[in-house]
Structure formats: structure tokens, C-alpha cells
Amino acid sequence: MSVMNSQPETTSDEEIDLLELLALFWRRKWFIVAVTSLFAAGGVAYALLAQQWWRAEVVMTQVDSKQVSGGLAQLGGLASLAGINIGAGGGSQNSVAVLKSKDFAREFIEEKNLLPVLMAERLDAKPAVDIRDAVDYFDKDVRAIVEDKKSGLITLSITWTDPVLATEWANELVKRANQRLRAQALQESERNIKYLQGEIAATNVTAVQQAIGKVIESEMQKLLLARGSEEFAFKVIDKAVEPKKRAKPQRAMIAIGATLAGGFLSLVLVLIGNWWSQEKLRPKDAAVSV
């Protein structure tokens, strides 16, 4: 019989404990309201006064260079007859690597004289900041590059306190990346063609001359492609436009989070206060019973 009655008694005790807990919270309701309101007001104040950040994004795709690189791959056997190794793969990966590189960021910061802009809050710090600090900050907190492997889209985003500057920097970074990669391709092709022309003049073997001639033709195609296209490595799908909405702070989320935190803390303080008051009463009760 005792086993059968244990469950209802346990349930009844739980109900009593819950009612007592609710009664405790009700007695201290004004304290709970005050703490919650204080946190809510603090959260709203922070959300309104905190530095605003804006994010400008450029959506682009890599220019398909398979046609030219494929031609070089087909001529690889012929080029090897002349002892030539031209047209290494990985051009697309190299393009993204350049866009992500710290060297590219350093060049952009130096040419735009952005060190005092990026490090404005730390110019008087000791030790003094330099270009390395600016590059690290730019790479970690300002510039972000996301690749979507499925769609092939690349998104470059700039997060900054000025929406106009964020937009300008995002668009200019893509433009500069195209210019840099285009210049590299032109130099490489011109160097290869000059070398190949020397090799073809130095040999009398017809098969070798034909192999070199076809490689020269392929290098000429690369040269013409680089000269004729400003969007050499990246084709812009959506250029950056001045953002209308802040990236951060998210004021509504901050206010809600602060309110919930205040409410939770107030309940914990009520429970701690109730436990402490009971602990202080226990020695007195024990002395009276003795």
C-alpha cells in the first residue's frame, strides 16, 4: 500500500513546492520588475549609443579560363619536346588567393593611406601601431570573402563604420584584384613568348619548331585575353551599393537579450535571497528548541 501512495505524495509535494516558488516570486515582483527594467534600459541605451557598422558586398564569379588553359594542356606534350614547361594549372584558385592575401591588403592600405583611418583609436597606443597591425585588423574584422562551391559565386564584404567608405573599398578591391592579376598574366605571357621565340630560332628540328609555334599561339591567346578584358579574373555580378541597414549592432536583439538576462538574474537573486534568509533563521530555531 505504501508503494502505491508514494507517487501521489511526490506529485503533491512538487505542486506545493511550485506554488511556494510562484508565491515567492509574486511577493518579490517589484524587485524582479525593477531589475528587469534596469537591464532592459541598459540594453536599449547600449544599442542606441554603440558604434554602428555597415556592410557592403560585391558578388562575383571567376572568369572561366578553361578554354585557354585547356589549349595549353593539350600542347603540353609538344612543349615538353622542346624542354618547355608552361601553363601551370590552378589559375582560379590563385585568383581567390590573391584576393584573400595579406600582401594584397597591405598594398591597398598603403596606396590609400588607410593606416590612420583603420587604427584611429590606437594611434596613441604603446607600443605604436604600424602597417602590420592595420593589415591584421583589416584581414580579421573588415574584409571577408565567402566562396559558394555549388553556385561558384564569391562574395567579398567590407564592414566599416562609414557606409560610403565600405562601398568604395569593396568595389575598388575587386577592381584592383583584376588589375593585378591581369598585369601578372600580361607579364607572364610576354616573357613566355619572348623565350619561345628565342627557342624556335635556336633549333632546326621541324617537330620542335611546330611544337613551340603552337605553344606561342596559345600564349598569344592568353595575351590577347588579358589585354582585351578589364574583368580578367573576376566578373562582377552585383557591385557593392551603399547599404541602408546596419550590420551591427542589432538593436532589437540586444534589447530583448538584455531584458531576458535581467529577468533571469532577478529570479536567481530572489532565490538566493530567500535561501540566505532561511539559513540565517535556522540557528535561532535550533537554539529555541534546545
Question: 30 with 63, same domain?
Answer: no
* Closest to 157 measured CA to CA, from 148, 146, 165, 149: 146
Q: Cβ distance 222 to 69 under 8 Å?
A: no
**Cell numbers standing for residue 71:** 589549349
- 26 inside domain: yes
Same domain, residue pair 89 and 233: yes
How far, in whole angstroms, is CA 124 from its chain's centroid?
A: 28
pLDDT digits (tens, 9 = 90+) for 52-89: 999 999 999 998 654 444 444 444 554 454 444 444 44
Domain assignment present for 187: yes
Residues 103 and 39 in one domain: no
Same domain, 18 and 95: no
| Cell numbers for 3 | 508503494
23 shares its domain with 110: no
State the DSSP H helix or E strand holding residue 202, giving kind and residue range, or none if neither.
none
Q: How many domains does the chain have?
A: 2
pLDDT of residue 10: 57
pLDDT of residue 30: 92
Q: How distant is the alpha carbon of residue 55 from its chain centre?
A: 11
Residue 91 in domain = yes
Report whether 78 contacts 211 (CB < 8 A).
yes
In the DSSP assignment, the letter for residue 56 is E
Which is nearest to 140 in space by CA: 177, 103, 193, 100?
A: 100
Full residue range of the structural domain in which residue 112 is found: 54-238
Indicate whether 189 belongs to any domain.
yes
219 and 256 part of one domain: no
Where the chain has pLDDT below 50, the residues are: 1-4, 66-75, 78-79, 81-90, 287-290
Distance in Å from the first CA to the final CA of the chain: 37
Within-domain flag for 66: yes
Phi/psi at 40 (nearest 5 deg)?
-60, -45
Q: How far is CA 181 from the centre of its chain?
A: 23
Whole-model pTM: value is 0.71
Q: Are 10 and 122 part of one and the same domain? A: no
Q: Work out the angle between the directed axes of helices 2-27 and 29-49 (0-180°, nearest 10).
A: 60
**262 shares a domain with 210:** no
Question: Within this chain, do residues 23 and 95 fall inside the same structural domain, yes or no?
Answer: no
The pLDDT value given to residue 163: 95
User: What is d(CA 116, CA 129) in angstroms, rounded to the nearest whole number?
Assistant: 10
Residue 51 φ/ψ, nearest 5 degrees: -60, 130
**Cell (9 digits) for 29:** 515582483
DSSP 3-state percent helix, strand, coil across the chain (nearest 5): 70, 10, 20
Of the candidates 36, 231, 60, the one whose C-alpha atom is nearest the C-alpha of residue 148 is 60
Q: Let me know if residue 244 belongs to a domain.
A: no
Q: In terms of C-beta density within 10 A (0-12 exposed, 13-18 middle, 19 or more buried), how is residue 144 classed? A: middle
| Integer Cα distance of 1 and 92 in angstroms | 79
Sequence-ordered list of residues with C-beta below 8 angstroms from that of 40, at least 6 positions apart, any chain: 255, 258, 259, 262
> Kind and range of the H or E element at 64?
none
Do the domain assignments include residue 275? yes
Residues 84 and 225 in one domain: yes
Q: Are residues 182 and 275 in the same domain?
A: no
Indicate the residue among 198, 215, 238 that finishes a domain: 238
E-state strands within the chain: 54-62, 143-147, 153-160, 234-238
- Note the pLDDT of residue 12: 58
Give the residue among 37, 38, 41, 88 at the shortest CA–CA distance from 192: 88
Query: Does residue 35 share a domain with residue 92?
Result: no
Residue 243 belongs to a domain: no
Backbone region of residue 245 per phi and psi (left: phi > 0; alpha: psi in -120 to 50; beta: other values): beta
Q: What is the CATH number of the domain that holds 140?
A: 3.30.1890
Model pLDDT, residue 60: 95
